[in-house]
């Protein structure tokens, strides 16, 4: 690869682009399999909001016959979709490509965006047999449909439960909730709260909300936690810097180089393959990123040094976030109404992380590199920017849009990171 004088790149680096194929796609209605031609899919999106949501949004846009869609809506509680998505990469300026590899191979439940009452009025018949036989007829493909799909695990995690657990620590309680809720492939950072609770009363609510209740009211980690149920792995992660939970042989680090626009290599985007290194490398450029450094502004407007007032015993705990001095009071008042002993340290860490946020666009990446358990390093070619912004980050959001590119799908990723070290 041509380095064009950049100290970040090496001559032996190989730039590659990832492509995706949907190799299996069918609907199950009451157990009856109905193949859907992949060519009907115009695009699909996967959106991860790791800090704000528990589950990803998986939306597939396609055209569908009136009768097929009507049948799905009539049986929407018993509709499932089998989806298999595979990835491969090609080496730039060569004919080399990798083998196909599964990134999604699972069954999903169907959650309609709404009942689409106008559509139902147009097509509803007293006798379903009166629906036109328009299956696989090109002239019938007039309806653009958005399918919102969720893993079957979501249904079991939304099941209601009410327990009283005795003489347990939080790790045991959480493991029990995950097991009862049907969660699988869970990666969990070691808990820093190892207290034994004589009695944990879990109010009537779903399993996923029980996990949030335990985290909010008792605290898993000193700097806060991320609870997220992904498309393959599920996560309960420590928010502190670094990779603290990972699968066997999983690469733990993702490095992003931000090149200056004066470097001709900055016109290139995508993944870099480096021989004998178990890290993900990507190229971005300064034109496609935005940086929000708001710690001083937050200091002036609302305060960034949280003063935690425990309403149970009236203890006041003031913490330093590291914001620049503005010669004025900069305490943010937070009332702790819970039994979470980590609220002061977690609130401080979250406020500090929110003070420096970097967003960027990178095309044709592999999604595994941007899972929430990774240790992210962002390195700038511009030395002034590097001195100011380089460090360890965690990922906050990952928004993937897939569009047709010949016989395959290309990917555009919009990524948001927060500085944690």
What pLDDT is stored for residue 345 in this prediction?
86
Q: What is the pTM of this model?
A: 0.87
Name the E strands within 128-279: 143-151, 160-168, 186-188, 197-206, 225-229, 234-238, 253-259, 270-273
Domain presence at residue 276? no
Q: Residue 329 burial by CB count (10 A; 0-12/13-18/19+): exposed, middle or buried?
A: exposed
Name the E strands within 222-323: 225-229, 234-238, 253-259, 270-273, 280-285, 289-293, 305-310, 316-318
Percent of the chain with pLDDT over 70: 79
Terminal Cα distance for the chain, rounded: 31
pLDDT band at 121 (very low <50, low <70, confident <90, very high): very low
Q: For residue 329, is pLDDT > 80? A: no
CA atoms of 51 and 310, how far apart (whole Å):
25
What pLDDT is stored for residue 323 in this prediction?
54
Same-domain check for residues 44 and 133 = yes
CA atoms of 83 and 32, how far apart (whole Å):
15
| Residue after which a domain boundary falls, among 154, 177, 196 | 154
Domains of the chain: total:
3
Q: Domain limits at 178? A: 156-238
Domain presence at residue 274? no
Beta strand 253-259 with 280-285: parallel, antiparallel or unpaired?
Answer: parallel
Instruction: Report which of 268, 291, 266, 271 is spatially closest to residue 385, judged by C-alpha positions.
Output: 291
Domain presence at residue 70? yes
Give the model confidence (pLDDT) of 29-86 as tens digits. 988 999 888 888 988 999 999 999 999 999 999 888 888 888 888 888 889 999 999 9
| Residue after which a domain boundary falls, among 222, 238, 254 | 238
Average pLDDT over residues 168-172: 96
Q: Which of 25-39, 158-172, 272-286, 288-302 has the lowest mean pLDDT?
A: 288-302
| Residue after which a domain boundary falls, among 154, 180, 214 | 154
Same-domain check for residues 111 and 222 = no
Same-domain check for residues 144 and 160 = no
């Amino acid at each position: 690869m041509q380095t064009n004088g950049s100290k970040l790149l090496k001559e032996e680096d190989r730039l590659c682009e990832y492509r995706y194929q949907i190799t299996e796609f069918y609907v199950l209605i009451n157990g009856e399999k109905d193949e859907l031609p992949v060519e009907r899919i115009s695009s699909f999106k996967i959106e991860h909001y790791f800090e704000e949501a528990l589950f990803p949004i998986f939306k597939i846009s396609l055209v569908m016959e009136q009768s097929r869609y009507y049948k799905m809506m009539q049986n929407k509680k018993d509709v499932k979709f089998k989806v298999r998505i595979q990835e491969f990469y090609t080496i730039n300026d060569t004919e080399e490509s990798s083998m196909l590899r599964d990134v999604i191979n699972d069954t999903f439940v169907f959650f309609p965006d709404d009942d689409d009452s106008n559509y139902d009025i147009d097509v509803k018949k007293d006798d379903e047999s009166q629906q036109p036989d328009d299956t696989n007829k090109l002239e019938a493909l007039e309806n653009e449909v958005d399918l919102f799909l969720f893993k079957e695990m979501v249904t079991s995690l939304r099941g209601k439960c009410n327990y009283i657990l005795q003489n347990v620590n939080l790790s045991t309680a959480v493991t029990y909730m995950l097991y009862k809720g049907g969660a699988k492939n869970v990666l969990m950072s070691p808990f820093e709260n190892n207290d034994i609770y004589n009695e944990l009363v879990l109010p009537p609510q779903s399993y996923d909300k029980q996990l949030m209740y335990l985290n909010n009211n008792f605290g898993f980690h000193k700097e806060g936690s991320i609870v997220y149920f992904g498309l393959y792995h599920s996560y309960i992660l420590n928010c502190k810097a670094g990779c603290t939970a990972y699968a066997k042989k999983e690469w733990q680090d993702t490095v992003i180089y931000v090149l200056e626009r004066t470097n001709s290599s900055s016109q290139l985007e995508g993944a870099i393959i480096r021989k004998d290194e178990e890290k993900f490398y990507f190229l971005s450029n300064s034109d496609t990123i935005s940086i929000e450094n708001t710690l001083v502004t937050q200091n002036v407007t609302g305060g960034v040094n949280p003063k935690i007032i425990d309403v149970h015993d009236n203890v006041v705990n003031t913490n330093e976030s590291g914001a620049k001095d503005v010669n004025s009071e900069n305490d943010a008042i937070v009332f702790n109404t819970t039994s979470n002993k980590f609220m002061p340290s977690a609130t401080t860490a979250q406020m500090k992380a929110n003070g420096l946020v970097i967003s960027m666009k990178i095309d044709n990446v592999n999604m595994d590199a941007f899972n929430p358990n990774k240790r992210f390093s962002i390195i700038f070619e511009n030395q002034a920017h590097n001195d100011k912004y380089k460090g360890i980050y965690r990922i906050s959001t990952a928004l993937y849009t897939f569009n047709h590119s010949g016989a395959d799908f290309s990917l555009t990723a919009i990524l948001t990171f927060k500085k944690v070290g």
